[in-house]
Structure 1
Amino acid sequence: MNVIPNDSEAASNSGYLASRPQVWFAFAMTFALMFFDFIDRQVIVSLFPHIKSEWHLSDKQLGSLVSVVSIVVGAGGLPVALVADRMGRVKSIVVMAVTWSLATISCMFTANFSQLFMARAVVGLGETGYGSVGVALISTLFPKSLRSAALGAFYAAPSLGSVLGVVLGGMIAARWGWKAAFGVVGVPGLVLALFYLLVRDYKTVALTPDSNPESQPLGETLKRIFGALARTRTLLWVCAGASAQLITVSAMWSWLPSYLNRFHGMTPEAAGKAAAVVVLVGAFSCTLWGFVVGRLTRRNPRNKLPALSVLCLVTSVIFVAAFGGTYTAAIQFKLIVLGGFFMNCTVGVVAGVAMDVVHPGVRSTGAAVLSLFQNVFGLAVGPVLAGALSDRWGLQHALTFIPLCSVLAAGFFVVAMRSYDIDAAKISDVQLDAAPALADTVGTGTAA
């Protein structure tokens, strides 16, 4: 039985696809899973000093333990999203949450770098497609006027999860050993997966009026999907810009605890807590920038893109100054915190822009394209590139160079602005409807 009352009339009057309680319940559950997703993903960064000491790893190897998750997530995102767009988003999310949670728990039983690397790859396998499918669900259930704000709030979950992951990792390692951290953080995702069965999905719509997404041959379906995405030039440029900015973000998330440990003499636990402050500021600003940019560009949504360009340039200037200059520890940390306030500016907004221009029938797949770029060319690149540069030049010089990627991001967003209006107009008249919660269909024996 669905515990959330249906109110389709209220939904139609407000622009929500289902009733407000149902939509906000879906948001809360999707946010919670993303939160624990990134706890599981980022808990390892505060464990770097312990792992390096015990297994004698290079910085490049340590960075690869973070990057492998993003690589697998990016590589597998498209197949999972294709399945989700055809078979249902809620079912896909439940399976993914169970998989990544069990894989995280398995990390505590590893005995060497190779085993931990493979276990982390399976964590990525479980997380594959989650972000893109979650984005498609939230962006479709909410009114378009709230899309950037809702996605900005949703994308605060990775930062908040990273904060708690970094803090918990250091605290648990100090008391029970670093391997115990994986066991502690892996359990909540299993519980949340069960509650996710109550979330409302939306009915899959055809790309064209004469196509049936369920009976159409796979080859023809893929041709229509990728043809539609390839013609959406805004999506491709936004993917490039988002990826470049995330190189900066992921490098800071992964290496700031180690930087504070090495250059400011902090213990791993204290360095993790200090780095968590920067990530927490980023979590707050992610929601703030999603709201502010969305609010300021309501009359002309295309202006989201030059706004992002300016914010990326500010990010680069602050971080280059922070790591490239000579300051006291206190002043440098304040500059790093300021950079953290700007660095997450793109996350929610770019997802909203992508959903503005992608056909609702392939939004999971469109979001997966964005996720592929962000993970493989952004989140995966930052940690391992910074680690490789650190092995060669030293960590401080590496963190001075990496923020220049934000300048590249700014250029990509300016180019994306040119095609936004044309791409958004192509899908302006598509009609949508909500589907029942998966728990209801299971209880009545009907198909979703």
Structure 2
Amino acid sequence: MHAVHTIAVDTSAASRVSRPYAWLVFALTFGLLLSDYMSRQVLNAVFPILKAEWVLSDTQLGSLSGVVALLVGLLTFPLSVIADRWGRVKSITLMAALWSLATLGCALATNYGEMFAARFFVGVGEAAYGSVGIALILSIFPPHMRSTLSGAFMAGGAFGSVLGMALGGVIATQFGWRWSFGAMAIFGLLLVALYRAIVIEKKLGSCPAARAAKAAQGKVSRAGARRLIEALFGSNAVRLAYIGSGLQLFLMAAMIAWMPSYLNRYYHLATDKAGALAGIFILFGAIGMVVCGMITDRLSRNAPNRKWWVAMAYSLISSVLLLIAFQLPAGMPQLVLIGAGMFLVAGTTGPAGAMVANLTPAAIHSSAFATLTLANNLLGLAPGPFVTGVIADRIGLLGALQIIPVIALLAAAAFFIGKHYYAGDLKHIQALAS
């Protein structure tokens, strides 16, 4: 943490960016995040079809979902550091083109091995998008909007999951599962062309905040990797924010991956109807991410420590709701509780993003959010679907879903502990930056 004073940035200058252009950039970057998750989650809608056609186990199905998150976790940090140096806009364009072409490869796969390879490259393409995208967004908006922007932007993952599963199920039923992947690939490639035409790196770089960030970033580079690591991991609070966020998203990832299969097996819904209903639950999660981020900003604007209490509440309540839900028999009461749990299950995304942004220098926010993405994927998004599939092969999918909500209790514990360090760590960082 001793290097923080060398890389501090006056992020208030971000307000000098044209507000209409800033929102246009947000909309297009958000649109690519939709494409990202549509390409990632369309697979879940066709799980029942692939399971029958290729005779796959739940563990294999879970691996096809988990490999993307695993690659995101392993590559997000190095690729985000490269993006900070090479240019965020160029990096975003290249990443989106790669995952779209890899999704097209999924449409052409003829067996499990080929599908796994295509999904591998989907993961490579998507690896750093979340961290680079949110860093780009935060660089052109005022700091007091961080929880709202973080929650709203990351909600694009849930909205994309909804669209990917719902549309994927309908397209698979009407035209076959290959067209489900093909449609997502075409959508992504069209957005890439639009993004390249409208979002200009130099225009964003002309912002005083962006210039200051780039200059400060050079100081980070000269300071070396050791000081970068200190800036990213130097406080107890930021480490616990990474851990709490990742553990909470274990539950979110498992629910997203397995809800279509759960509805297909236990409610006997066809692929398109199971995907559509699962999409509604994920939509609750997406709306919850935005609403929870806004609530967090409102409650913590004059009391930063409240972010931790609010995040802990989201974790505890979502865990309890889902634990109760999967003890109930199939029916409307169960579906209502699942919907309520899904509304809160990813509510920690906004608070966690704001915590990390506040506890790290603006010049390395791509790297900081890459670290958050690393934790989210290695602790949550990658193991969530896979571990659930492994458990399901042994005790059934219902039994697995009755167990996994306990993970959110561990997330709540991490937020509880982190709260006790936050105020002191924040003051220390601000003192070094002054």
Whether the 8 Å CA contact 1:136–1:355 is kept in 2: the answer is: no
Paired residue for 2:262? 259
Secondary structure, in 3 states, of the residue corresponding to 1:141? coil
**CA RMSD, 1 decimal:** 2.1
Paired residue for 1:99? 98
User: How far off its partner does 1:16 sit?
Assistant: 1.7
Q: Using the alignment, how far apart are the partners of 1:340 and 1:380 within structure 2?
A: 19
TM value normalised by structure 1: 0.88
Q: Using the alignment, how far apart are the partners of 1:31 and 1:84 within structure 2?
A: 18
Q: Using the alignment, how far apart are the partners of 2:71 and 2:19 within structure 1?
A: 35
CA separation of 1:89 and 1:26: change in aligned 2, threshold 3 A: same
Per-residue displacement from partner, 1:203-245 (whole Å, max 9, x unpaired)? 3637969x6457x4xxx53222112212132221111101111
Whether the 8 Å CA contact 1:297–1:303 is kept in 2: the answer is: yes
CA separation of 1:25 and 1:422: change in aligned 2, threshold 3 A: farther
2:172 maps to amino acid? A
User: How far off its partner does 1:306 sit?
Assistant: 1.2
Indicate the percent of aligned positions where both proteins have the same amino acid.
38
- Where do residues 102-251 of structure 1 align in structure 2 (5 Å cutoff)? 102-197=101-196, 198-199=198-199, 200-201=204-205, 202-203=210-211, 205=213, 212=219, 216=222, 220-251=223-254
Paired residue for 1:66? 65
Q: Using the alignment, how far apart are the partners of 1:191 and 1:204 within structure 2?
A: 33
Single out whichever of 156-165 and 199-208 deviates more from structure 2.
199-208
Paired residue for 2:414? 412
- Where do residues 83-94 of structure 1 align in structure 2 (5 Å cutoff)? 83-94=82-93
Per-residue displacement from partner, 1:362-401 (whole Å, max 9, x unpaired)? 1101110100110121001110111011011111110010
Paired residue for 1:441? none
TM value normalised by structure 2: 0.91
Per-residue displacement from partner, 1:9-39 (whole Å, max 9, x unpaired)? xxx9996251211221221111111011000
Paired residue for 1:16? 15
CA separation of 1:191 and 1:328: change in aligned 2, threshold 3 A: closer
1:385 maps to amino acid? V
Q: Using the alignment, how far apart are the partners of 1:16 and 1:245 within structure 2?
A: 32
2:33 maps to amino acid? M
User: How far off its partner does 1:348 sit?
Assistant: 2.1
1:318 maps to amino acid? L
Paired residue for 2:332? 330
User: How far off its partner does 1:423 sit?
Assistant: 3.5
Q: Using the alignment, how far apart are the partners of 1:124 and 1:322 within structure 2?
A: 32
Secondary structure, in 3 states, of the residue corresponding to 1:301? coil
Single out whichever of 255-264 and 16-25 deviates more from structure 2.
16-25
Paired residue for 2:291? 288
Whether the 8 Å CA contact 1:139–1:352 is kept in 2: the answer is: no
Q: Using the alignment, how far apart are the partners of 1:107 and 1:424 within structure 2?
A: 45
Q: Using the alignment, how far apart are the partners of 2:421 and 2:85 within structure 1?
A: 28
Single out whichever of 134-143 and 49-58 deviates more from structure 2.
134-143
Paired residue for 1:422? 424
Per-residue displacement from partner, 1:389-427 (whole Å, max 9, x unpaired)? 101111111001000000000000111112223333455
Q: Using the alignment, how far apart are the partners of 2:216 and 2:168 within structure 1?
A: 49
1:140 maps to amino acid? S
2:229 maps to amino acid? F
CA separation of 1:13 and 1:140: change in aligned 2, threshold 3 A: closer
Which of the pair is proportionally richer in helix?
A: 2
Is residue 30 from structure 1 mapped to residue 29 from structure 2 by the alignment? yes
Q: Using the alignment, how far apart are the partners of 1:165 and 1:47 within structure 2?
A: 10
